[in-house]
Amino acid sequence: MLLAWALATGGLAFAIGAGWEQWVVVAHGALGLGLLVLAPWKTIIARRGLRRQRSGSTTSVVLAGLVLLALASGVAHATGLLRTVGPLTAMQVHVAAALGSIPFALWHLVERPVRPRRTDLSRRTILRAGAVGAGSLAALGGLAGVVRLTGLPGRRTRFTGSYRADPAAFPVTQWLSDGVPEIDASNWRLSILRRGEPARGYPLDELDARAEAVTATLDCTGGWFADATWHGVRLDRLLEGMEGRGIRAVSATGYSRRFPVDDADRLWVATRVEGRPLSPGHGAPARILAPGRRGFWWVKWLVSIEVDDTPWWWQPPFPVQ
């Protein structure tokens, strides 16, 4: 159950980006450390199980290994003790290990079922669960105290757990598998579609001329954030007079995100960052700025904006490319 809740809060923390995310992140930390708090008892059970030499022990050991890797990389990221492992960030290792553990955990549930018993709801069990909960929070508080006292980098993270990056040189990063497309800005136009029909088009110089300065935080789920000054046109000004329920921002690569139509006054089409035109890696010629939303909403290499009657939630919760 701890693992299931840790996975759920981890996913939720990626989805949000606003203030109350802090509490989701705290819960996520406590749930993760709760697994460590329970480890001494679980180890006894696991040893006994291994001695019986049933089939599938290897699968259980892989599950344990992945959970340990997720815990270790989570602690490494949160404290700042180890933030990169070769080409990967500790956060990427954390997410990969956590996602990788899911099939093994499901297998474990099916092959090693623990039937619910009446005593699961006894006073004693509830007191014990409370003790584990208190122990987990104490472990989290203790870890935060150690980070502060020893001056580890982890004390300077944002409420999402991300580390500050230089706004003039923050990383170029893709959600999963996108490559940087080459777009000829002189032929490029931002197409606006209404219910599938082309309605308007904005060339780059018009967007540039209408752009205003916006200071916003790009917070990548990879574990870094940048407070930069962008130049962009507010989306409601490009969509004036258009009706619908959802706005879909589409990249030249096919990557896309759908937003609620009411957010149009909180989204920008940006053409510059820190005074300079966007570089190809950062989304040239134009990208979405979505302050308050995590990085995967900030669609790069924008080619079209579609307004239609599809609600914003009609999409996978996270991009799939």
Residues that bind ligand MTE (CB under 6 A): 170-175, 178, 220, 251, 253, 255, 281-283, 295-296, 298-301
Question: From CA 164, how far away is CA 223, in angstroms rounded?
Answer: 9
Residue 255 CB, shortest distance to Mo ion, in Å, is 12
User: Which member of 17, 232, 295, 319 binds Mo ion (CB under 5 A)?
Assistant: 295
H or E stretch covering 66: helix 57-79
| Residue 34 interface partner, choices Mo ion, ligand MTE, none, CB cut-off 5-8 Å depending on type | none
Residue 282 CB, shortest distance to ligand MTE, in Å, is 4
Nearer to Mo ion, 220 or 261 (CB): 220
- Cα torsion angle, 86, 89, 91, 92, sign: negative
Residue 56, C-beta contacts closer than 8 angstroms, at least 6 positions apart: 107, 111
Binding segment (CB under 5 A) for Mo ion, from list 32-40, 61-69, 288-296, 312-320: 288-296
Residue 115 CB, shortest distance to ligand MTE, in Å, is 42
Residue 105 CB, shortest distance to ligand MTE, in Å, is 26
Region of 152 (left: φ > 0; alpha: ψ -120 to 50; beta: rest) is beta
| Residue 14 interface partner, choices Mo ion, ligand MTE, none, CB cut-off 5-8 Å depending on type | none
> Does residue 220 touch Mo ion according to CB under 5 A?
yes
- Return the structure tokens found at 62: 């892989």
Nearer to ligand MTE, 18 or 126 (CB): 18
DSSP 3-state assignment of 35? helix
Question: From CA 147, how far away is CA 155, in angstroms rounded?
Answer: 6
- Cα torsion angle, 3, 4, 7, 8, sign: negative
DSSP 3-state assignment of 192? strand
Nearer to ligand MTE, 104 or 225 (CB): 225
Interface contacts to Mo ion, rule CB under 5 A: 220-222, 295
